[in-house]
């Protein structure tokens, strides 16, 4: 890694952390109540190494295979790395995902819940899961529809005994994000869930105002994806 890549990573991270602290303060929240998930998909390893050197330990990836290719090596150097899967999970990748990730943010269907539970039981490795909600009801996006959320959460708890830790959403690109974040916050409150994963590079300050506990930030932390 070149000096400038490490320096860039440190400077960008510091700037994002300062913005998170500012947004939290403006919302009357503790900075520590918002976790920065650095989304490293499609980023060069040098930038990830720079972020690690600058102290970042919590990362998000959206593809199991890409994550498998690089995180085991980083983990040997930094054992306290925590990884969150923020992309769609196919059931044939569940075994690899459970081995690699610490949290699954994209639980969104009964078949996946069943496959995860089977793998948790087989390995004894019980990961917290967030349920992804397709708040914009976009056909190309993963997530349960708002109308199906209640019954899906019931099923996760009673039928599968899954530890649902929170909700996650990705608002449609053209929409104002606020109403989506407000919906997710209200749904989490109604169902007694503490975790709220929402907000990306363009809208994380809004998400913090609406109660985000996890902001998933890629380009603002690492620069444009290659």
Which residues of this chain interact with ligand PLP, rule CB under 6 A? 39, 41, 62, 86-87, 170, 200-201, 216-220
Min CB(159)–ligand PLP separation in Å: 26
Residue closer to ligand PLP (CB basis): 115 or 200 = 200
Min CB(117)–ligand PLP separation in Å: 23
Min CB(16)–ligand PLP separation in Å: 10
Residue with smallest beta-carbon separation from ligand PLP: 218
Residue closer to ligand PLP (CB basis): 87 or 177 = 87
Residue closer to ligand PLP (CB basis): 130 or 152 = 130
Residue closer to ligand PLP (CB basis): 89 or 200 = 200
Residue closer to ligand PLP (CB basis): 77 or 202 = 202
Min CB(106)–ligand PLP separation in Å: 8
**How many CB atoms are closer than 10 A to CB 58?**
16
Q: 165, 101, 99: which is closest to 129 by C-alpha?
A: 165
Residue closer to ligand PLP (CB basis): 209 or 216 = 216
C-alpha torsion sign, points 183, 186, 190, 194 = positive
User: Could you give the 3-state DSSP secondary structure of residue 6?
Assistant: helix
Min CB(154)–ligand PLP separation in Å: 25
Question: How far, CA to CA in Å, does 115 sit from each of 30, 90, 95, 189?
Answer: 37, 10, 9, 27
Q: Output DSSP code: residue 15.
A: H
User: Could you give the 3-state DSSP secondary structure of residue 167?
Assistant: strand
Min CB(181)–ligand PLP separation in Å: 14
Q: Give the number of residues written for the chain.
A: 226
CB 101 within 8 A of CB 75: no
CB 107 within 8 A of CB 95: no
């Amino acid at each position: 890694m070149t000096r400038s890549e490490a320096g860039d990573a440190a400077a960008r991270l510091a700037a994002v952390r300062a913005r998170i602290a500012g947004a939290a303060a403006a919302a009357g929240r503790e900075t520590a109540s918002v976790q920065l998930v650095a989304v490293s998909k499609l980023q060069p390893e040098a930038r990830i190494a720079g972020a690690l050197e600058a102290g970042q330990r919590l990362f998000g990836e959206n593809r199991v295979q890409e994550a498998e290719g690089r995180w085991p090596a980083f983990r040997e150097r930094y054992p306290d790395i925590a990884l969150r899967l923020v992309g769609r999970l196919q059931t044939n990748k569940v075994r690899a995902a459970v081995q690699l990730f610490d949290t699954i943010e994209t639980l969104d269907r009964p078949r996946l819940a069943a496959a995860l539970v089977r793998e948790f039981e087989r390995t004894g490795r019980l990961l917290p899961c967030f349920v992804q909600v397709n708040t914009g009801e976009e056909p190309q996006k993963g997530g349960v529809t708002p109308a199906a959320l209640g019954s899906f959460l019931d099923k996760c708890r009673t039928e599968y005994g899954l530890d649902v830790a929170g909700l996650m959403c990705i608002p449609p690109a053209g929409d104002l994000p606020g109403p989506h974040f407000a919906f997710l916050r209200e749904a989490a409150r109604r169902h007694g869930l503490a975790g709220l994963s929402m907000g990306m590079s363009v809208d994380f300050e809004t998400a913090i105002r609406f109660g985000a506990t996890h902001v998933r930030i890629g380009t603002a932390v690492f620069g444009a994806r290659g």
